[in-house]
Amino acid sequence: MAARCLPVVIDQQNITIEISEIFQGFRLDAQNELHGGLMGIKNLVEFYSFRGLRDSVFGIFPRNGTELDAVITGLEDYFDTILRKNSNPSTKAAFIEIATILRREVKANELMKKVLQACLEDIRGGKVFPVGSDLYFERATTLLLDMIADWRYGSVESPEKILSDLLRSENNEVILKALDFINEFKPEGMSSIRGDLELLLSSNRSKRVRAWTLQSLSSIGANEKSGLSLKYCLDELEMATVLPLKEAWIIHCGYAAREVLDP
């Protein structure tokens, strides 16, 4: 509750100093206070981002942006502490949530590149926390996919390489988010991830993952050869016990049959 009230109780005349003092109070041995502080910063960012947009649209007040600049500076100063040295996924996730709101701020470009790289390294490394791994990886994956959708920060990694690494993750939530992204946006020029999808299809994953994988194989290029034989598709269709899997295998039976008739 205190975090939600911060935008209206903070001293507006000295807001940059107040924001700096919040960051200076962050300590890894006081995780509850750290999380509360980050949630307060998140609410400030949401408040001033919305007000800045509203004022720009309606011409109410000119925005100087000092409050968001102060937040960006604080995140840069505490990046290593919270995202690199910190082993608590809840506070790492809170940091990612703030970065996600700031992702279109020009002054946050360098910060965002570092945040994206940290997210990629954690996902690639298969880092597992005792509690809360899914929450952190869900936030990190969402941010990475948002960046791919905007085609921003291409200098960090190619979108194709990022998607490939997400599909190879050991975390089911990461994989499902990547598959959902592929099925929704149907990205072009991603034919090299077909091998990752086929590998995922043959792995011992849940029926939900396999069904979405089949949809993704269709999404990245129905005109390309699937690499799945007609017999294999028919056998899988016969063994499918849930409707999403049945529907997906029917589609791939059609693709495989077309390849037989028109090799």
pLDDT tens digit sequence for 194-230: 888 878 877 777 778 877 887 787 767 544 555 666 6
Is 148 in the same domain as 167? no
Q: Which of 157, 182, 203 is the last residue of a domain?
A: 157
Is 6 in the same domain as 129? yes
User: What is the CA 9 to chain-centroid distance, rounded?
Assistant: 32
Mean residue pLDDT across the chain: 79
d(CA 252, CA 230): 8
pTM reported for the whole predicted model? 0.77
Q: For 16-24, what is the mean pLDDT?
A: 91
Answer yes or no: are the C-beta atoms of 108 and 77 closer than 8 Å: no
> Per the structure, how many domains does the chain have?
2
Percent of the chain with pLDDT over 90: 32
Q: Which pLDDT does position 157 carry in this prediction?
A: 76
Answer yes or no: are the C-beta atoms of 122 and 140 closer than 8 Å: yes
Is 118 in the same domain as 236? no
Is 196 in the same domain as 94? no
User: What is the CA 182 to chain-centroid distance, rounded?
Assistant: 13
Q: Which of 103, 133, 157 is the last residue of a domain?
A: 157
The domain of 64 spans 1-157
Is 102 in the same domain as 172? no
Is 228 in the same domain as 151? no
Q: For 244-248, what is the mean pLDDT?
A: 66
Q: For 110-123, what is the mean pLDDT?
A: 92
Q: Which pLDDT does position 248 carry in this prediction?
A: 67
Q: For 55-73, what is the mean pLDDT?
A: 66
Tell me the pLDDT band of 155, cut-offs 50, 70 and 90. Answer: low
pLDDT digits (tens, 9 = 90+) for 120-152: 999 988 776 767 788 899 999 999 998 888 766
Q: Is pLDDT above 70 for 256?
A: no
d(CA 21, CA 227): 58
Q: What phi and psi values does residue 223 have, to the nearest 5 degrees?
A: -85, -5
Higher pLDDT, 257 or 93: 93
Is 126 in the same domain as 237? no
Is 123 in the same domain as 253? no
Percent of the chain with pLDDT over 70: 72
Q: Is pLDDT above 50 for 61?
A: no
